[in-house]
Amino acid sequence: MPNHAKGTRSEVSWDPNSIRDDFPILARTVHRERPLVFFDNAASTQHPVAVLDAMDACYRRHYANVHRGVHRLSQEASDAYDAARARVASFVGAERVDEIVFVAGTTMAINLVARSMGESGIGAGDEILLTEMEHHSNIVPWQQLAARCGARVRFLPIRDDGTLALERLGEFLSPRTRIVAFTAVSNVVGTINPVTELVARAKQVGATVLVDAAQHVPHDRTDVRAWGADFVVFSGHKMLGPTGIGVLWGRYDRLESLPPFLGGGSMITEVTTSGFVPNLPPAKFEAGTPPIVEAVGLHAAIDYLESIGLERIARHEAELTSRAIDAMSAIDGVRILGPKAEQRAGIVSFVVDGVSSQDLCVFLDLKGFALRNGHHCAMPLHERLGVPSSCRASFYLYNTLAEIDRFATTLRSEIDRLR
Ligand code: PMP
């Protein structure tokens, strides 16, 4: 049994040092032998050997195109691809395996829904409701859709503390609201949104609801049926898996009635010179050769996460986050963006009076700390918070309390130096 799997799920804390050896990249150093502290997990996460090995074995022993051949390798690859879909379905609580559509990532999934919904009756005067804390990938596809069909995009405001102004929801929901799309967790301020409540309110006016779960699925238990939305989307590379694969979960009847987005192989049952008949979901939305080896990697990533337990991962990240917020707020000039620790996931963005976020991240990098700076693909949110950019530290299961403590000490000294 791997070290990390020992003990019970009810343990209050858990030692991430027991799994760090599973991640070869965490052993490397940067800039004159500084140990790497990887705090850029909201952008993309690192890979355990189990994921690297699963993908390597697929390429070395089982690789061929899927669902296209009777030969042995094609069958092995098809079985692996189908097994990955089944694993994702059980991981997020889908009712049916064919509610899982493999796509390139969250961005692709949202574009797919926006494109397809645009062809199925959104029109002038209709409204699309988003929030002020969305990632650009949950804004631009809807703006594009609105521009094509004359609909209006509206934004539910946030409060100053980075939580959604739920008390104002009534002003924004009406029978004209056809789509409500929002993030489960902000990729900048880390706010955990009340998904079930928001979905229920949107459903009262008959809207279609899409939840951007890119920052939720990797970090906490997700049950798509309990959320009650129509679509839930997320990316493999933010949950220990490879790039190039993501998931669109859709309620089966919604996927059935949605027109296909991309045309090509696999998404049809018949093509003639005069037209085509679309396949059933999920094949209907998977035109062309799919991300086969990436699906195998995602399967291994889910197995790995489950061997630890999403509940335990969430608890560990909560501990890291509250330690980080306590230590960082004690540093003169640091302004942490977003709500108190209890309301947020493992993401802490901040600005420092008189110091540019770019300079600070460059100097932190020289000490071994990988943070992201900039607008984190959320320009409207930064505008609302009154800052052009921020530094972002984001944590995952392999980060330790000792790393947080070292970070706080280094942050303090770098700020002193830069001022
Ligand atoms: N939504 C959120 C909340 C995100 O954090 C991200 C990635 N930063 C995306 C969407 C886009 O994901 P991807 O780049 O994998 O398509």
Q: Quote the ligand 1 centre to 244 CA distance (angstroms).
A: 12
Instruction: For residues 286 and 333, state if they share a domain.
Output: no
CATH number at residue 322: 3.90.1150.10
Tell me if 396 is assigned to some domain: yes
Ligand 1 in contact with 137 (CB < 6 A)?
A: yes
* Full-model pTM: 0.96
Instruction: For residues 301 and 315, state if they share a domain.
Output: no
More confident residue, 4 or 313: 313
Residue of 40, 45, 106, 232 best suited for mutating to test ligand 1, as the one with most atoms within 8 Å of CB: 106
pLDDT one-digit tens code per residue, 200-258: 999 999 999 999 999 999 999 999 999 999 999 999 999 999 999 999 999 999 999 99
Tell me if 205 is assigned to some domain: yes
Instruction: For residues 20 and 126, state if they share a domain.
Output: no
Q: Amino acid letter at 157?
A: P
Using a 10 angstrom Cβ sphere, with 0-12 exposed, 13-18 middle and 19 or more buried, the burial of residue 108 is: buried
Ligand 1 in contact with 193 (CB < 6 A)?
A: no
Instruction: For residues 392 and 332, state if they share a domain.
Output: yes
Tell me if 1 is assigned to some domain: no
Q: 124-127 long-range contacts, Cβ below 8 Å, gap at least 24? A: 124/149, 124/150, 124/151, 125/150, 125/151, 125/152, 125/176, 126/151, 126/152, 126/176, 126/177, 126/178, 127/151, 127/152, 127/153, 127/154, 127/174, 127/176, 127/177, 127/178
Ligand 1 in contact with 111 (CB < 6 A)?
A: no
For strand 177-183 and strand 152-156, is the pairing parallel, antiparallel, or unpaired? unpaired
Q: Amino acid letter at 145?
A: L
Tell me if 2 is assigned to some domain: no
Among protein residues, the one whose CA lies closest to atom 4 of ligand 1: 214
Tell me if 3 is assigned to some domain: no
pLDDT value, residue 89: 98
pLDDT value, residue 69: 81
pLDDT value, residue 121: 74
- For residue 82, the enclosing domain spans 54-306
Residue of 45, 112, 187, 245 best suited for mutating to test ligand 1, as the one with most atoms within 8 Å of CB: 187
Instruction: For residues 42 and 64, state if they share a domain.
Output: no
Give the three-class secondary structure for 346: coil
Ligand 1 in contact with 105 (CB < 6 A)?
A: yes
Last residue of a domain, one of 254, 280, 306: 306
Ligand 1 in contact with 215 (CB < 6 A)?
A: yes
Binned at pLDDT 50, 70 and 90, residue 12 comes out as low
CA distance 342 to 127: 33
Ligand 1 in contact with 107 (CB < 6 A)?
A: yes
Tell me if 215 is assigned to some domain: yes
Instruction: For residues 317 and 274, state if they share a domain.
Output: no
pLDDT one-digit tens code per residue, 155-183: 999 999 999 999 999 999 999 999 999 99
For residue 281, is pLDDT > 90?
yes
**Please, what is the angle between helix 292-308 and helix 72-92, to 10°?**
40
Tokens of 85: 């879909």
Tell me if 130 is assigned to some domain: yes
pLDDT value, residue 10: 44
Per-residue pLDDT, averaged over 374-384, amounts to 94
Instruction: For residues 298 and 332, state if they share a domain.
Output: no
pLDDT value, residue 6: 42
For residue 78, is pLDDT > 60?
yes
Per-residue pLDDT, averaged over 124-129, amounts to 96
Per-residue pLDDT, averaged over 306-314, amounts to 96
Per-residue pLDDT, averaged over 30-34, amounts to 94
Last residue of a domain, one of 289, 306, 323: 306
57 contacts: CB under 8 Å, gap ≥ 6: none
**Please, what is the angle between helix 401-418 and helix 357-366, to 10°?**
120
Helices (H), 150-286: 169-172, 195-204, 224-227, 252-257
Instruction: Look over the chain and give the mean of its residue pLDDT values, rounded to a whole number.
Output: 95
For residue 7, is pLDDT > 90?
no
pLDDT value, residue 68: 77
For strand 347-352 and strand 390-394, is the pairing parallel, antiparallel, or unpaired? antiparallel
Instruction: For residues 210 and 320, state if they share a domain.
Output: no
Q: Quote the ligand 1 centre to 209 CA distance (angstroms).
A: 18
Question: Which is the closest atom of ligand 1 to the Cα of 238?
Answer: 15
Among 58, 149, 361, 377, the one annotated catalytic: 377
Tell me if 7 is assigned to some domain: no
Instruction: For residues 82 and 212, state if they share a domain.
Output: yes
Task: Say how many domains are in the chain.
Answer: 2
- In this structure, the number of other CB atoms found within 10 A of the CB of residue 85 comes to 22
**Please, what is the angle between helix 310-329 and helix 292-308, to 10°?**
80
Q: Quote the ligand 1 centre to 38 CA distance (angstroms).
A: 18
Please provide the size of the chain in residues.
419
Tokens of 301: 């990533």
pLDDT one-digit tens code per residue, 42-56: 999 999 999 999 999
Instruction: For residues 272 and 159, state if they share a domain.
Output: yes
Ligand 1 in contact with 131 (CB < 6 A)?
A: no
Last residue of a domain, one of 306, 337, 356: 306
Beta bridge partners of 395: none
For residue 363, is pLDDT > 70?
yes
pLDDT value, residue 13: 66
CATH number at residue 192: 3.40.640.10
Instruction: For residues 162 and 183, state if they share a domain.
Output: yes
Ligand 1 in contact with 316 (CB < 6 A)?
A: no
How much of the chain exceeds pLDDT 70, in percent? Answer: 97
Residue of 45, 107, 136, 349 best suited for mutating to test ligand 1, as the one with most atoms within 8 Å of CB: 107
**DSSP character at residue 49:** H
Q: Is 149 a catalytic residue?
A: no
